[in-house]
């Protein structure tokens, strides 16, 4: 797997850095990965490798305010900024003659779902992992109602922190998460939290318009993103081809749990099957890229 790093100018002039993981042969499909809140795309390298081994080209951006991308840390003017930046990255991939899929985890799952609802013509399938699609059960209803307002009025106000122990049952994963300098370890501001909760409010009424093939995966013991959101997709999505798997006992980052091989295997099996269903035309991808970081 060869990895190139590039950047684009996102909304508000923010620099969005993204990696392109290239397979050894001609790509059979393109997979874009949208990471979760407070983390960065580099934490999905093992997922990208599994996909590249199956000849997928994998594109992984760091969201604005995250990782290597520009912008104030953990701040966003509007949730739609994430969708616009993601679209700019996807546009930078160039003209493709193979199927294109989007994977979104946690907050990145909410971004991915919003993107799929807004740009259905640009995707052939959607995969959601531990997606944050409904407010957590522990949040008081009054706070959920006020969150978008508070986010606009006092976006700088510290809100909550993410307990690293809830990320995975794998102690090594938790240790790496805690020491990763590109992971945000402070409090999440009211602005970002309010934008995410505000975006959640639209999903129930808009899910019937989601008609593309969709795979939804969630850890049953996830306390950071409520599994009810994934069940909601299965119940309300308009697509005939929707698969929902809740893994009993797994924590939030199902791609980093001890059972990661089985989870990633379900994703790759689904992608391969839907790539075959979609079909592809011969041709190479014109992917813009920068300097090569690594070659494996």
User: Annotated catalytic sites, by residue?
Assistant: 106, 222, 252
The b/e string for 128-148 (b: 16+ C-beta within 10 A; e otherwise) is bbbbbbbbbeebeeeebeebb
| Size (the chain), residues | 296
Query: Are the CB atoms for 66 and 120 separated by under 8 Å?
Result: no
Provide φ and ψ at 42, rounded to 5°.
-65, -20
Q: Are 219 and 260 in contact (CB under 8 A)?
A: no
Residue 263: φ, ψ to 5°: -65, -50
Identify the helix (H) or strand (E) that includes residue 22. Answer: strand 15-22
- Residue 223, both tokens: 């306390």
């Amino acid at each position: 797997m060869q990895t190139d790093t590039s950047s684009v100018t996102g909304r508000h002039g923010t620099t969005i850095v993204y990696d392109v993981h290239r397979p050894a042969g001609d790509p059979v499909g393109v997979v874009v990965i949208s990471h979760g809140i407070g983390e960065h795309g580099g934490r999905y390298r093992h997922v990208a490798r599994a996909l590249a081994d199956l000849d997928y080209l994998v594109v992984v951006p760091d969201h604005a305010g995250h990782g290597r991308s520009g912008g104030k840390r953990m701040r966003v003017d509007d949730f739609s900024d994430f969708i616009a930046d993601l679209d700019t990255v996807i546009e930078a991939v160039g003209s493709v003659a193979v199927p294109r899929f989007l994977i979104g985890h946690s907050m990145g799952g909410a971004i991915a779902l919003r993107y799929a609802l807004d740009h259905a013509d640009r995707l052939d399938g959607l995969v959601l992992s531990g997606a944050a699609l409904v407010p957590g059960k522990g949040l008081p209803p009054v706070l959920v109602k006020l969150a978008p307002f508070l986010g606009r009025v006092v976006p700088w106000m510290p809100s909550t922190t993410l307990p690293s122990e809830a990320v995975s049952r794998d102690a090594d994963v938790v240790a790496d998460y805690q020491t990763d300098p590109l992971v945000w370890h402070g409090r999440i501001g009211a602005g970002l939290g309010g934008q995410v909760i505000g975006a959640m409010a639209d999903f129930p009424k808009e899910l019937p318009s989601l008609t593309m093939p969709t795979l939804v995966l969630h850890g049953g013991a996830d306390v950071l993103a409520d599994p009810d959101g994934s069940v909601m997709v299965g119940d309300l999505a308009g697509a005939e081809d929707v698969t929902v798997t809740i893994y009993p006992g797994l924590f939030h980052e199902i791609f980093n749990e001890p059972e990661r091989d089985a989870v990633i295997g379900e994703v790759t099996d689904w992608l391969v099957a839907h790539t075959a269903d979609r079909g592809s035309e011969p041709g190479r991808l014109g992917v813009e890229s920068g300097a090569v970081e690594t070659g494996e």
